[in-house]
């Protein structure tokens, strides 16, 4: 059985492969999560070796780590064009669609991914699945006002269990002050259709479905790193 240490080594290997796509002078979207953490630290090494780059972080946690690593951050209120965004994922299907948001940063992550000229996704091999859903719930960021009503509409649409995410017995709040509903779908056969339908529900801010956004998937495996360039439809 694969240990957590083995999986962490795979994440680190994928991160090291990803930062090789970063060139001097680039603006880089910095993801959030355990795999993205390795990427930020690897970029810090490049900065200390003389590379000039600026980062757009997707969470306060990532911003703090990037600052610690000596990476210059761009003010979030500025208009920026991101050369490359690098982030992890909770699940990846054969069509390179993703579920993200396990860490609660999905809104900023999607804004950054959408703003990037290239979106690189890093995972260890356990994150690849034949179909999205099942073992991992789909996070949906919603406005706190009337969240129960929003949850009922999501439940009616998906015919699946909808659970308010909590932390320490209280509703989990995102950095934007929203709450997250985790939808336990057995399988998501048409991610694009579901994403469009969910976004029609009043109160939904963003979903954790990242459909048709991946440009390059880098997978850490027991036998090394595998890369899959994606041709977007």
228 found inside a domain: no
Same domain, 69 and 159: no
Structural domain boundaries, residue 194: 138-202
pTM for this prediction: 0.96
The catalytic site residues sit at: 109
Nearest to 219 by CA among 1, 12, 57, 63: 12
92 found inside a domain: yes
233 found inside a domain: no
Structure confidence at residue 32 (pLDDT): 97
Same domain, 24 and 109: yes
Same domain, 8 and 106: yes
Same domain, 17 and 124: yes
Same domain, 14 and 43: yes
Give the H/E segment covering residue 187: none
133 found inside a domain: no
pLDDT at 2 over 90: no
176 found inside a domain: yes
CB atoms under 10 Å from CB of 193, counted, come to: 11
pLDDT band at 3 (very low <50, low <70, confident <90, very high): confident
pLDDT band at 77 (very low <50, low <70, confident <90, very high): confident
Q: Which residues 6+ apart lie within 8 Å of 170 measured at CB?
A: none
Q: Into how many domains does the chain fold?
A: 2
Same domain, 107 and 148: no
* Residue bearing tokens 């048709």: 212
State the CATH number of the domain containing residue 16. Answer: 3.40.50.1360
- The pLDDT tens digits for 171-223 are 999 999 999 999 999 999 999 999 999 999 999 999 999 999 999 999 999 99
Chain centroid to Cα 126, Å, comes to 16
Structure confidence at residue 4 (pLDDT): 85
Same domain, 79 and 115: yes
- How far from each other are the two terminal CA atoms of the chain, in whole angstroms? 37
Structure confidence at residue 45 (pLDDT): 97
> Considering the chain, what percentage of its residues have pLDDT values greater than 70?
99
- The pLDDT tens digits for 119-164 are 999 999 999 999 999 999 999 999 999 999 999 999 999 999 999 9
Same domain, 16 and 91: yes
Going 152 to 154 to 158 to 163, the CA torsion angle's sign is negative
pLDDT at 78 over 80: no
């Amino acid at each position: 059985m694969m240990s957590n240490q083995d999986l962490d080594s795979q994440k680190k290997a994928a991160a090291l492969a990803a930062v090789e796509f970063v060139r001097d002078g680039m603006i880089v979207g910095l993801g959030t999560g355990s795999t993205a953490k390795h990427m930020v630290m690897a970029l810090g090494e490049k900065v200390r070796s003389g590379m000039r780059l600026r980062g757009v972080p997707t969470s306060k946690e990532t911003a703090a780590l990037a600052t610690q690593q000596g990476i210059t951050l761009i003010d979030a209120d500025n208009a920026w064009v991101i050369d490359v965004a690098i982030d992890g994922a909770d699940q990846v299907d054969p069509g390179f669609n993703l579920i993200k948001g396990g860490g609660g940063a999905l809104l900023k992550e999607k804004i950054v991914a959408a703003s990037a000229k290239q979106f690189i996704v890093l995972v260890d091999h356990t994150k690849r699945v034949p179909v999205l859903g099942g073992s991992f719930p789909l996070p949906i960021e919603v406005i706190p006002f009337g969240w129960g009503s929003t949850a009922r509409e999501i439940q009616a649409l998906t015919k699946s269990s909808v659970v308010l995410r909590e932390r320490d017995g209280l509703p989990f709040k995102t950095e934007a002050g929203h709450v997250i509903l985790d939808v336990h779908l057995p399988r998501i056969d048409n991610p694009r259709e579901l994403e469009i339908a969910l976004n029609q529900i009043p109160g939904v801010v963003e979903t954790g479905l990242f459909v048709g956004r991946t440009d390059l998937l880098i997978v850490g495996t027991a036998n090394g790193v595998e890369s899959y360039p994606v041709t977007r439809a």
